[in-house]
Amino acid sequence: MIIETWTPEDTFQLGKELGERAKAGDVYTLDGDLGVGKTVFTQGVAAGLGITEPVNSPTFTIVQEYEEGRIPFYHFDVYRIGDVEEMDEIGYEDYFYGDGLCIIEWASLIEEIIPASAKKIIIEKDLEKGFDFRRITIEE
């Protein structure tokens, strides 16, 4: 499925719709360049789960946990990860095969441990269509 958005609000809304439908144990991967809208999308997902506290990319930790919503939400940003072993150290399996929704920004950096069942989401710019245009591809 390919969705085109023209504003951050549209990308947020798309994320929100996915968040409303998410089930415990779901894993969504998010890939795309810096500043493309992965965190905006993630904030929409969080809103769709009923989370009202602010959601930003975890800067000093790999994962940020939110328990406020309909199901637990685990927000990963692995941009700064040096080695996939760092995921072992935080016990990633308890999250990926757990009781909540996982979203992983920059998932391609840890491709070898992404569950086969993960929903893959790619966000791209196309500057010919404008600065705020984004093409969002969601694999089923």
Given the rule CB under 6 A, which residues bind ligand ADP?
5-8, 10-11, 32, 34-40, 57, 105, 132, 134
Question: Would you give the distance in Å from CA 67 to the centre of its chain?
Answer: 16
- Chosen from ligand ADP, Mg ion, none, partner binding at 122 (C-beta under 5 to 8 Å by type): none
**How far are the Cα atoms of 12, 106, 121, 132, 135 from residue 129, in angstroms, in the given order?**
19, 24, 20, 8, 10
> Residue 45 CB, nearest distance to ligand ADP (Å)?
12
> Residue 32 CB, nearest distance to ligand ADP (Å)?
6
Please give the Cα distance from 8 to 67 (Å, whole number).
Answer: 25
Residue 49 or residue 107: which is nearer to Mg ion going by CB?
107
Backbone angles phi, psi at 93, to 5 degrees: -65, -35
> Residue 124 CB, nearest distance to ligand ADP (Å)?
11
Positions that interact with Mg ion (CB under 5 A) = 38-39, 57, 105
Please identify the residue of the shown chain whose CB is closest to the bound Mg ion: 39
> Residue 77 CB, nearest distance to ligand ADP (Å)?
8
Residue 57 or residue 114: which is nearer to ligand ADP going by CB?
57
Residue 29 or residue 39: which is nearer to ligand ADP going by CB?
39
